[in-house]
Every structure is written in structure tokens, then in C-alpha cells.
Amino acid sequence: MNLEGRKIIVNKSSSELAGMLKNPQDYKDLMPDSLQNFEAREDGFKFGLKGMPEIALKIDNVSDKEVVLKSASSSLDFALTGTMNPVSDNQTEVQLLFEGKFNPFIKMMVEKPLQNFINSLTDKIEQL
């Protein structure tokens, strides 16, 4: 299952964004308003949204070109990638891409909430 967020322009350099996205605590500011709990960890974070089970993510890779977050749970196989393309010295085009391997039943249940989550993250990143 693949989902895409819309492309946005962020008024920060790609290296500035990468620096921020290396710190697990900084992800709390990007979470949707429905956030109920958030716990930063050494290599990632765990969060819970209203009406959804808790999700644990580990920060797999951060560079000036992309950030890759992967599921910290062995029972769920997915990655959330943020691509970053510099537009100018202080502007970066960002797009979120979700790739998950789910059975058809799980896919049917999670597709719409995940797309809403990606859209909400995109809106928060755009405000940086």
C-alpha cells in the first residue's frame, strides 16, 4: 500500500530541516491536534492519536535529501519517508510518502486514517 502527501514548500533549508528531524522530541510539534500521548525515545518516538492504537516509530535515516521513519513493531511493516528537495537557500520542497505491507483487511481499515494522518503532518510541516 502506497500513500502520498501533497508537495509543499517549507521556509527552511533542507539541512535545517534534517537537523530538526534527527531529534525525536521535535516530532511532537508535527503531530496532529488529536495527539493524546507522545514519548520520545533514543532512536525514535511513540505516539497515540484519538481513536487509534499507539504507534512506535524509529528514525532510520536522516539526510539533507530525505528522512525515513520505520515501524518499531515487528508485526507492522511500513516506512514513512519525507523527501526534501532544496528550492533555494532557505526553502525546501517536502513530500511525505508512506509504504506499507498490509493484508487486504488491514489495508481497508487503515488506509483512510493513514491518509488523514499524512495530510495532517503535511499541514504541520508547512507551518514550520
Per-residue pLDDT of 47-105, as tens digits, reads 999 878 889 999 999 999 999 999 998 888 999 999 999 999 999 999 999 999 999 99
Q: Comparing 6-10, 23-27, 109-113, which segment has the lowest mean pLDDT?
A: 109-113
Q: Give Cα 94 to chain centroid, integer Å.
A: 11
Choose among 37, 76, 33, 84: nearest CA to 58: 76
Give dist(CA 26, CA 18) in Å, integer.
11
Domain boundaries, the chain: 2-127
Report pLDDT for 15: 95
Burial class (CB in 10 A: 0-12, 13-18, 19+), 81: middle
Max distance between CA atoms of the chain, in angstroms, equals 45
- Write down the CATH number for the domain with range 2-127: 3.30.530.20
Report pLDDT for 89: 93
Give dist(CA 23, CA 127) in Å, integer.
18
Q: Identify the bridge partners of residue 85 per DSSP, sorted by sequence position.
A: 93
Contact 76, 68 (CB under 8 A): no
In this model, does residue 26 exceed pLDDT 90? yes
Instruction: State mean pLDDT over 15-26.
Output: 95
